[in-house]
C-alpha cells in the first residue's frame, strides 16, 4: 500500500525512527536516572520517588535476585501488582539483569493465574499481600520457588507506611490470610540487596524483555514475546509522534491505567521515563474521589485513559473545578471513545482526546491521531513512523482505497512471536506481516478506521454485520450507557444479532425504544432480534468488554 498517510504527517514528525538508537531499555533507564536524578520519577499516595532513588532501589532489588536466587539472564519473573511504587522498582530491577518480566493482572482468577505461571515457567513472583491468597490456591501446580510479598505502603516513609499497612490489614481488612512456602518480604529484598554488588549483565535489543499475556477477550490467553528492540522502537515512535507537545523533564502524567497493561507500560512508564517525566500512580482509578484528589494535587500535563475513565471524570460535578491550564495531551485507549464523551471532555478542558490503535503483539501502538487535530472523528489516526500498513481480503490481496479489509502491519515494534506456540505464531506472522484480525478502512488522507474484529463478524443470511457499527449507533441512543452485540444461532438466518444494553443510572429503557431507534438507522438484517438489559458488562483490565463471555 502506498504510504498516503505521510502527506498528513505534522512537519515535526519524522517518517522513520532508529530502533537501534539504544541497545536496551536498561540504557534508557541509566540515561534518565543520570540526567534527571533529582527530579521525581514516580509518585504515589503523596510521596515521590526521584530518578536517583529509582536507580538505587532497582539496583538493590536486582542484586538480591542475582545473589539470593541465582537468577540468570532470560529467566522469567512474574509481577502481580497494581500501580504502586514497588512496580517500577521491580520492573527495572528485573530488566537490568536481563530477566524477562511477566506482567500479571491483579484481578486474575486462580485459573488465569495458574495458566500464566505454568505457561511462562516463572520461578519467582512479586505479589501484593492482598492477592497472596489467590496465589496460595495454585502455587503447588506452578514452577514458582520463591514468593516476594509486598504491602501497599512498603515504599512510603516509615510512619506513613506503618499507618497505611495497618489500615489495610486491620481496619479495611483487605488482606486475607494466606500460607505460602518460601515467602520473603519485598522490604527484606531491598534491605539485603543494598549491601550486595550488582554483577553487570549485557542486555541487547534482541533479548526478550516481556512475556505479555493477551487479555483473553478473544479466547485463550497467549504469551506475546516482546524484545527490548520491540519496546525501544515503540518508545521512539511514540515520543517522535508527540514531540510537538511534550517537554523533556517537565511533564506530569496521571497514570490511572494499570502499568501491567502494555499501553500504560509503554506510553506512561517507558516513554515518560525516557522524557524525564513524573508518573503519578493511581492504584484504584475506580474510586473517583481518590482520582480527583491526585489530579487536584499535581499540576498534571498528560493523562491517558479508557472511555470509561473519561466518562467517570466528566460525570463528576467537581471535575470542572480542576485546573487544566497545564494539560497538553489526553490519550484514549482500550475501546473507542464515545463521541459524546470526547466532545464533553473537549468543552471542559480545551484539549481533544487523541485516539489510536494498537495490539499487544505490536508493543502496542500502530496508529495514532496527530497531536494537531481539533475535532473528534472516530478514526484511529495514521500509522506511526517506520510502520507499514495494508488492508487485505481473504486471499491476502490488497483491497481498493475505501473498501474494508483485514489490517496487516509490519514494523520494528512487531513481536517476535507467541511463547511456546509456533503454530499460532506461523498463522499470525506471515513474511514479516502481522495479521491483526481487525477489519478496517482507510480514506484518501491516510486515516484508518476500525470497523470490527474479523472473529466478531455476524453472518446474517448472506449479509455481513459488524457489531461495532451497531454498538456505535446504540450508545448514541438517549439513556444508553454501554452496548455490545454478539451473534447467536438462528434457525432461519443462521445467525441473529443479540444486543446487551446497560442503561444510564436512573433511566428507564425499553426494548421498544431501542428497536425504534435502531429502525431509523439500520437495515432490516442488522436489527437486533434479541435485547437484554444488564447492570454492567464484563470487562478486561484495559476497559475492553469481553465479548466472548457474552456469547
What pLDDT was estimated at residue 368?
97
Nearest Cα to Cα of residue 383 among 409, 360, 406, 415: 409
DSSP state at residue 403: S
What pLDDT was estimated at residue 144?
98
What pLDDT was estimated at residue 219?
54
513 and 406 share a domain?
no
| Cell numbers for 122 | 516463572
CA 256 to chain CA mean position, Å = 11
Given 422, 453, 484, which residue is the final one in a domain? Answer: 453
What pLDDT was estimated at residue 216?
58
Kind and range of the H or E element at 79? strand 76-80
403 and 471 share a domain?
no
Sheet containing strand 480-490, edge to edge, reads: 480-490, 494-503, 530-533
Given 203, 231, 256, which residue is the final one in a domain? Answer: 203
Cell 505502603 -> residue: 153
150 lies in some domain: yes
13 lies in some domain: no
What pLDDT was estimated at residue 539?
79
Given 203, 229, 248, which residue is the final one in a domain? Answer: 203
Q: Is the dihedral of CA 10, 13, 14, 19 positive or negative?
A: negative
Domain count, the chain: 3
64 and 163 share a domain?
yes
79 and 190 share a domain?
yes
> 321-370: per-residue pLDDT in tens?
999 999 999 999 977 888 889 999 999 999 999 999 999 999 999 999 99
Please give the residue range of the domain that contains residue 420: 382-453
What pLDDT was estimated at residue 459?
85
Phi first, then psi, for residue 471 (nearest 5°) are -60, -40
483 lies in some domain: yes
175 and 69 share a domain?
yes
pLDDT digit string (tens) for the chain, length 551 residues: 899 999 999 999 999 999 999 999 999 999 999 999 999 999 999 999 999 999 999 999 999 999 999 999 999 999 999 999 999 999 999 999 999 999 999 999 999 999 999 999 999 999 999 999 999 999 999 999 999 999 999 999 999 999 999 999 999 999 999 999 999 999 999 999 999 999 999 999 999 999 999 975 545 689 999 999 999 999 999 999 999 999 999 999 999 999 999 999 999 999 999 999 999 999 988 888 889 999 999 999 999 999 889 998 998 989 999 999 999 999 999 778 888 899 999 999 999 999 999 999 999 999 999 999 988 888 999 999 999 999 999 999 999 999 999 999 999 999 999 999 999 999 999 999 999 999 999 999 999 999 988 888 888 887 888 888 898 899 889 999 989 999 999 888 888 999 999 999 989 999 999 999 999 988 888 899 999 999 999 877 556 778 878 87
103 lies in some domain: yes
- Return the SS3 of 244: coil
91 lies in some domain: yes
Domain at 401, CATH number: 2.30.38.10
Kind and range of the H or E element at 309? helix 307-314
319 lies in some domain: no
467 lies in some domain: yes
287 lies in some domain: no
63 and 162 share a domain?
yes
315: left (phi over 0), alpha (psi -120 to 50) or beta: alpha
CA 358 – CA 368 distance, rounded (Å): 9
Cis? peptide before 364, omega within 30° of 0: yes
Domain at 486, CATH number: 3.30.300.30
Domain at 99, CATH number: 3.40.50.980
What pLDDT was estimated at residue 491?
83
Specify whether the CB–CB gap between 283 and 84 falls below 8 A.
yes
DSSP state at residue 170: I
84 and 167 share a domain?
yes
| Cell numbers for 9 | 504527517
439 and 468 share a domain?
no
60 and 197 share a domain?
yes
What b-and-e string marks burial along 306-334, b requiring 16 or more CB atoms within 10 Å of the CB?
Answer: bbbbbbbbbeeeebeebebeebbbbbbbb
442 and 470 share a domain?
no
What pLDDT was estimated at residue 190?
98
423 and 442 share a domain?
yes
CA 201 – CA 98 distance, rounded (Å): 7
127 and 198 share a domain?
yes
Amino acid at each position: 500500500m502506498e504510504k498516503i498517510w505521510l502527506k498528513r504527517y505534522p512537519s515535526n514528525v519524522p517518517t522513520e525512527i532508529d530502533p537501534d538508537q539504544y541497545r536496551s531499555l536498561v540504557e534508557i533507564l541509566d540515561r534518565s536516572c543520570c540526567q534527571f536524578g533529582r527530579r521525581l520519577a514516580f509518585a504515589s499516595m503523596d510521596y515521590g520517588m526521584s530518578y536517583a532513588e529509582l536507580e538505587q532501589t532497582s539496583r538493590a532489588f536486582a542484586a538480591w535476585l542475582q545473589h539470593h536466587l541465582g537468577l540468570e539472564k532470560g529467566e522469567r519473573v512474574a509481577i502481580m501488582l497494581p500501580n504502586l511504587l514497588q512496580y517500577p522498582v521491580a520492573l527495572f530491577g528485573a530488566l537490568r539483569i536481563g530477566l524477562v518480566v511477566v506482567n500479571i493482572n491483579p484481578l486474575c482468577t486462580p485459573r488465569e493465574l495458574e495458566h500464566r505461571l505454568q505457561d511462562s515457567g516463572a520461578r519467582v513472583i512479586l505479589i501484593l499481600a492482598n492477592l497472596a491468597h489467590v496465589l496460595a490456591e495454585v502455587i503447588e501446580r506452578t514452577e514458582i520457588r520463591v514468593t516476594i510479598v509486598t504491602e501497599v505502603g512498603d515504599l512510603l516513609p516509615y510512619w506513613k507506611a506503618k499507618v497505611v499497612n495497618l489500615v489495610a490489614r486491620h481496619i479495611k481488612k483487605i488482606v486475607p490470610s494466606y500460607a505460602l512456602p518460601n515467602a520473603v518480604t519485598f522490604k527484606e529484598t531491598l534491605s539485603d540487596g543494598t549491601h550486595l554488588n550488582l554483577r553487570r549483565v549485557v542486555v541487547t535489543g534482541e533479548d526478550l524483555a516481556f512475556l505479555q499475556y493477551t487479555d483473553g477477550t478473544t479466547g485463550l490467553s497467549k504469551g506475546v514475546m516482546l524484545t527490548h528492540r520491540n519496546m525501544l522502537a515503540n518508545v521512539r515512535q511514540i515520543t517522535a509522534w508527540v514531540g510537538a507537545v511534550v517537554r523533556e523533564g517537565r511533564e506530569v502524567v496521571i497514570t490511572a491505567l494499570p502499568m501491567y497493561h502494555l499501553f500504560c507500560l509503554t506510553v506512561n512508564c517507558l516513554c515518560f521515563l525516557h522524557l524525564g517525566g513524573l508518573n503519578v500512580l493511581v492504584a484504584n482509578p475506580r474510586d473517583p474521589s481518590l482520582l480527583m484528589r491526585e489530579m487536584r494535587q499535581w499540576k498534571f500535563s498528560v493523562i491517558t485513559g479508557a472511555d470509561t475513565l473519561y466518562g467517570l471524570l466528566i460525570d463528576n460535578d467537581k471535575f470542572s473545578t480542576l485546573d487544566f491550564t497545564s494539560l497538553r495531551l489526553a490519550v484514549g485507549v482500550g475501546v473507542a471513545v464515545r463521541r459524546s464523551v470526547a466532545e464533553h471532555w473537549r468543552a471542559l478542558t480545551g484539549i481533544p482526546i487523541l485516539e489510536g490503535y494498537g495490539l499487544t503483539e505490536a508493543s502496542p501502538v500502530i496508529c495514532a491521531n496527530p497531536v494537531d487535530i481539533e475535532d473528534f472523528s472516530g478514526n484511529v489516526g495514521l500509522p506511526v513512523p517506520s510502520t507499514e500498513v495494508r488492508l487485505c481480503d481473504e486471499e491476502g490481496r490488497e483491497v481498493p482505497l475505501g473498501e474494508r479489509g483485514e489490517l496487516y502491519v509490519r514494523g520494528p515494534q512487531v513481536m517476535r512471536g507467541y511463547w511456546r506456540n509456533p503454530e499460532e505464531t506461523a498463522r499470525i506472522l506471515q513474511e514479516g506481516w502481522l495479521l491483526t484480525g481487525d477489519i478496517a478502512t482507510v480514506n484518501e488522507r491516510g486515516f484508518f478506521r476500525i470497523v470490527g474484529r474479523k472473529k466478531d463478524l455476524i453472518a446474517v443470511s448472506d449479509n455481513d454485520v459488524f457489531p461495532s457499527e451497531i454498538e456505535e449507533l446504540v450508545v448514541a441512543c438517549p439513556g444508553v450507557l454501554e452496548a455490545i452485540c454478539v451473534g447467536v444461532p438462528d434457525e432461519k438466518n443462521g445467525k441473529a444479532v443479540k444486543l446487551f444494553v446497560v442503561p444510564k443510572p436512573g433511566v428507564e429503557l425499553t426494548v421498544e425504544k431501542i428497536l425504534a431507534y435502531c429502525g431509523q438507522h439500520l437495515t432490516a438484517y442488522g436489527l437486533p432480534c434479541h435485547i437484554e438489559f444488564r447492570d454492567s458488562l464484563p470487562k478486561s483490565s484495559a476497559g475492553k468488554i469481553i465479548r466472548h463471555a457474552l456469547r
